[in-house]
Amino acid sequence: MADRRWRLVRAGRDAVPESVRRFNARARRNKLRVARPWLITAGVVLVLAIAAAVLYWTPAVSVRDLRVRGTAVVTEREVLDAAAVRRGVPLLRVDVDGVRSRVAAIAPVRSVDITRMPPSTLEIRVTERTAVAVVENPGGRWLLDETGVAYLPAPVENPGLVLVRLATPNPTDATTRAALAVLTALTQELRDPLAALVAEAPARIRLELTDGRTVVWGDSSENDAKARVAAAMLGKPGQVIDVSAPEFVTVR
């Protein structure tokens, strides 16, 4: 039998029907149309990834300017020392949570906001505590803020601040919270003759007046009613005004 040798022969254009060629061309266009959004998305993601990598590592976008805002009691130097941010570090590599935590540990600081300001600025904005009272305990006299934090030794003169006596002032202490609630409710009529607010327990609060009289307050419930009644009783004779049950006031 004679050898048969097969060889491939490219079919001429006319060998494929026109309808088949149109179908194949349409199929290729459809594939390209479907793939195009994915290709564009992949390209955008790649560009963003490259840009992020450049911003994260390049010294061109690095910390050169450190700004401190909002300080009054705390000094700018104290804030910068606590922040411990090195100039030249890429801006995106700054551990803002760490900076915030370290600056917030400064006693007079209540809150901290950190803002990256490209290309080279890091802003540290501080909100300081505001004193609402002077707290007195065996450790001395301290400024007390509205959350119950004793944060700075109190100066000798404290105009406008009530003296509060507490054993263990802190934000989680129930007696501290009760004392602050009572303090907030005091009208000016009660603040003017007030020598000290004494809180021995959450339900054992009293006001000591400058003339030697005492207002027994009890707990921190019904504070507004107690404040009204106590103010009305200031003109009555007697050394002890008991408003712990404001509907049944006693004076003795």
Same domain, 142 and 234: yes
- Residue 46 located in a structural domain: no
Q: Are 166 and 179 in contact (CB under 8 A)?
A: yes
Nearest alpha carbon to residue 237 among 211, 219, 217, 216: 211
Rg, C-alpha atoms of the chain? 37
The pLDDT profile of the chain, 252 residues, written as one tens digit per residue, is 555 666 655 555 555 566 655 655 566 666 666 656 765 676 666 555 555 555 555 666 789 999 999 999 999 999 999 999 999 999 989 999 999 999 999 999 999 999 999 889 999 999 999 999 999 988 889 999 999 999 999 988 888 899 999 999 999 999 999 999 999 999 999 999 999 999 999 999 999 999 999 999 999 999 999 999 999 999 999 999 999 999 999 999
Phi/psi region, residue 199 (left: phi>0; alpha: psi -120 to 50; beta: rest), is beta
- Residue 159 located in a structural domain: yes
Q: CA-to-CA distance for 232 and 229, rounded, in angstroms?
A: 5
CATH number at residue 176: 3.40.50.11690
Same domain, 151 and 106: no
Domain boundary among 82, 98, 128: 128
Q: CA-to-CA distance for 95 and 54, rounded, in angstroms?
A: 18
